[in-house]
Amino acid sequence: MEKTEPQLLTESRDYAFSQDGDDSLLLDCGQTLHDVSLRYECAGTLNADRSNAILITHALSGDAHCCGRHSAGDPKPGWWDEMIGPGKYIDTNCYFVVCSNVIGGCSGSTGPRSINPATGRRYNMDFPVITIADMVRAQHRLMEFLGIDCWLAVVGGSMGGMQVLEWSVMYPNEVRGAVPIATTAQLSSQSIAFDWVGREAIQYDVNWQNGDYEDKIPDRGLSTARMLAHITYLSDESMAQKFGRNLQDSEEYGFNFSRDFAVESYLEHQGRRFVERFDANSYCFITRAMDYFDMADRAGGDLAAALAPATADFLIVSFSSDWLFPTSQSKDIANALLKNQRNVSFCEIESSYGHDAFLLEVDALGTMIRGFLDNQSKEGAK
């Protein structure tokens, strides 16, 4: 009989900065955020010399629940459960995995729907504008709280990959391996444009109320923003294969403006599901953080100079049909690191899934990540 691994159970925890005596976080915008808290989850066991810790950084709509289930009867596993767990590609029998919800989020960490300690009311749009670097600074505080001196690897896709790059230059002595997946070193004008239209959809919703909504949330606006973004996560090929021009509920056109096509029904479903688990104000703040992300800009446009502080070994992965963060942008990162004579492995995975491939091409991606982590562990043991 084939051996099966036991079910992985994880627990959400909250780290309040005040536990270390300083509840504040100075942000890039110049403001200081107080009473900061991060929601996080761990899986696996930290070894005696604390050398097997891996940080997973999540994408725009992700959260701390990257693997396992919260209870034996929980029907929904973590968002990267196929990748992480006992005996899986990121093996929690070997590694101690940490994932936290970013600041600005809506899944337990301090964000715009949190209470502002200065007013006793929700921050809403009074929440300070954050950056990807601010997210990493908050994660670094968590790292210190957990007593981890150096990550064996920091691994993340999309916006998570941006955090990986920031970790590599902000805390170079505390990152041994870096795995940025399906990401970019600077958001393009096209991506900024998509983010802008998404936020406009939210802010034109009559229920948005300048961000001060309570009972009536801006569900139409947030749903539309998600539908727009979701299109960018797919490829033309994957949409053609999955939907084509198939009609949803009839064999004939309805000759009206309700949904006729299967792709319309799919997007409507994705928008509705997103509204059930995400917050409109958080969407605005997190997409703005992505807009401002530009590593090269901090070094006068020279990406190699911006990445010069990084000392980690890198595994950079892109996907052939990802037009949101195309392979050319991953190659720019790899080439900049090679100019600095860093250890870099790069691979473009053939896939029809588009940007979402980093969540769906588990076997191809996982095999590379497992090999990279094995090498990092062997190098660390020397």
Residues taking part in catalysis:
158, 322, 355
DSSP alpha helices (H): ranges in the chain?
132-145, 159-170, 189-203, 219-233, 236-242, 262-277, 280-291, 303-307, 327-339, 357-360, 362-381
CB 104 within 8 A of CB 285: yes
CA-CA distance, 149 to 381, in Å (whole number)? 16
| Amino acid letter for position 285 | F
Could you tell me which of 318, 373, 346 has the C-alpha nearest to residue 84? Answer: 373
- Host H or E run for residue 91: strand 90-91
SS3 label, residue 179: strand
Residue 113 main-chain phi, psi, to 5 deg: -95, 5
Exposed/middle/buried for 102, CB within 10 Å: 0-12, 13-18, 19+? buried
| Amino acid letter for position 375 | N
Could you tell me which of 173, 165, 146 has the C-alpha nearest to residue 57? Answer: 165
- Give the distance from CA 152 to its chain's centroid: 19
